[in-house]
Amino acid sequence: MRKDRELLTQLGRRGVWLAPALALLASACASYPDVAELDELKQREMGKPFFGELLALQYEQLAITEADYRDNTAAARFYADKGNLAAEGQAVAPEAPTSAPELQEAHLQLITFFDEDMDLIAPAMLARAQTSYDCWVEESRQGDSEDNLAQCREEFSQAVAALAAQQPPPPLSELTPDHTLFFATSSTRLTDEDQAIVREVAAAVQTGDVRGVRIAGYSDRAGNPQSNLRLSQQRARSVFDALSDAGVPREIMSAEAFGEVDPLIPTADGVAEARNRRVEIYLER
């Protein structure tokens, strides 16, 4: 069983997922010969929970629920297909609503949360909202179980309420980073000094005084902008992973990448300025 499913189990105990966490524990290592798409999804080595990975795990749990508890192979394939796309890093849109006014309103609510950057602010909850909405749409189309439909609708309502309660964080431009980690050219590796900062952040979180951790990755201006954006994403992910391994709860962290934008030291294009190759860590108290 992959390490990444630890998050799914932890959040499942808090009632975040569509089916009980026990369903995952019972079926995480099971095989689904009639749903090859689900077996493919279960075998993926996904990263830590940026929105795409969280969405893939949510669709996986929903597919398992359909296969194990509702005996609906077609629905299991449908959700597993969407999970595989999310795991590959592709954008996976919520389903188009039916003609039902309440589903059209739910779709509008969901799209609004994406416009408000909730995939960065509350990625786990937004993933829950999208998959429960899709479940609601699918169950209303099938029309064979009012209980299942009501469960999906209630899950969506709970997720929407939680998302609506989120307060957008202030722009990073208005904040001062608590810690800055610097990187060698084209590198994403953390030095011993960086690891010491990771341990310091983890210790601060464990005191209970820190309610959130924001991570921002940057690059210098050597190389093309697209490659530098990917490099800054990889640096942010390296710090995210290191903090997670040090014990910082994944659900309180968010990560963003900015590439060449907003350098510490303004330079001309093509200049490899060491102080611009960095990841900044902001602690929300």
Full-model pTM: 0.58
- The stretch 170-190 carries a mean pLDDT of 95
pLDDT at 8: 32
The domains of the chain are located at 5-164, 172-284
User: Which of 30-39, 51-60, 167-176 shows the lowest per-residue confidence on average (mean pLDDT)?
Assistant: 30-39
Taking only the tens place, the pLDDT of each residue in 1-48 is: 333 333 333 333 222 333 333 333 344 456 666 666 666 655 654 443
Rounded Cα gap, residues 190 and 247, in angstroms:
17
- The stretch 233-243 carries a mean pLDDT of 94
Taking only the tens place, the pLDDT of each residue in 66-122 is: 888 878 898 899 999 999 999 888 889 999 999 999 999 999 999 999 988 888 788
Give residue 253's pLDDT band: very low, low, confident or very high (50, 70, 90). Answer: confident
pLDDT at 148: 87
- The stretch 202-220 carries a mean pLDDT of 94
**Of 285 and 4, the one with more pLDDT:** 285
Most confident of 3-12, 61-70, 131-140: 131-140
Q: For the chain, give the mean pLDDT.
A: 84
Which CATH code is given to the segment(s) 172-284?
3.30.1330.60
